[in-house]
Amino acid sequence: MRGFISLLLLTLGLCLQATGMAADKSVIAVIVTNDNPNKSISLGELKLIYWRKKTYWANGQRIHPINLPPDHPLRLQFSNSILGSTPSAQNDYWNGLYFHGISPPHVLYSDEAAIRYVQETAGSIAYADACKLDNRVKPLLWLLPNGETTTNPSFVNCN
C-alpha cells in the first residue's frame, strides 16, 4: 500500500509540474534573415507560409519555414495561437499533402538551431524565444503569452 501511495504522489507531482510548465508561456519572435526586405508580416501571411500555401516571398525567393519539435512548448504555443491547432492534430493535413509532393516545414531541435538556420539560409523563416534573439536575425512579429501578436518589441521583457 505504501508503494502505491508513493507512486500516486509521484504521478500527481509530475502532472502538476507539467501543468505549471505549460502555463509558463514565452514571448515568441517570428524571425527572418537580416537581408529579408520585409519589415513585418501579417498573421494571415504567416498562416499561409506555415500551411505551405505560400511558398515564395514577394521578391521571388523561396520560403523555407522552420518548426520546432511537436512536443516543444514554443511549437505548441505557436501552433495553437497561429495555426489554431496542435501539431498532432495537423498530421492528417500533412499526410494528405504528402501525395501531392508537399512536405511540412523542416524541424530543428532548439531555438539556437532555428536562429542559426535563419541566419545562414536565404528565404528562411522561423520562430524562437524572443529573449534568445540577437542581431544575427530580424524579428518581424512577436507572439505574446496571451495569444495576441504585436510588431512592437517593447512588450518583450527578458528580465
Question: What's residue 74's pLDDT?
Answer: 96
Fold observed for domain 25-155: D-Maltodextrin-Binding Protein; domain 2 (3.40.190)
Q: Please tell me the pTM assigned to this model.
A: 0.82
The answer to whether the Cα torsion of 39, 44, 47, 49 is positive or negative is negative
Structure-derived torsion over alpha carbons of residues 11, 16, 18, 21, reported in degrees to the nearest 10 = -160
Give the pLDDT confidence of 12-40 residue by residue, as tens digits. Answer: 343 333 333 344 789 999 999 999 999 99
Question: What's residue 98's pLDDT?
Answer: 85
Partners of 64 in the beta sheet? 124
Give the pLDDT confidence of 75-134 residue by residue, as tens digits. Answer: 999 999 999 999 988 988 888 888 889 899 999 999 999 999 999 999 999 999 999 999
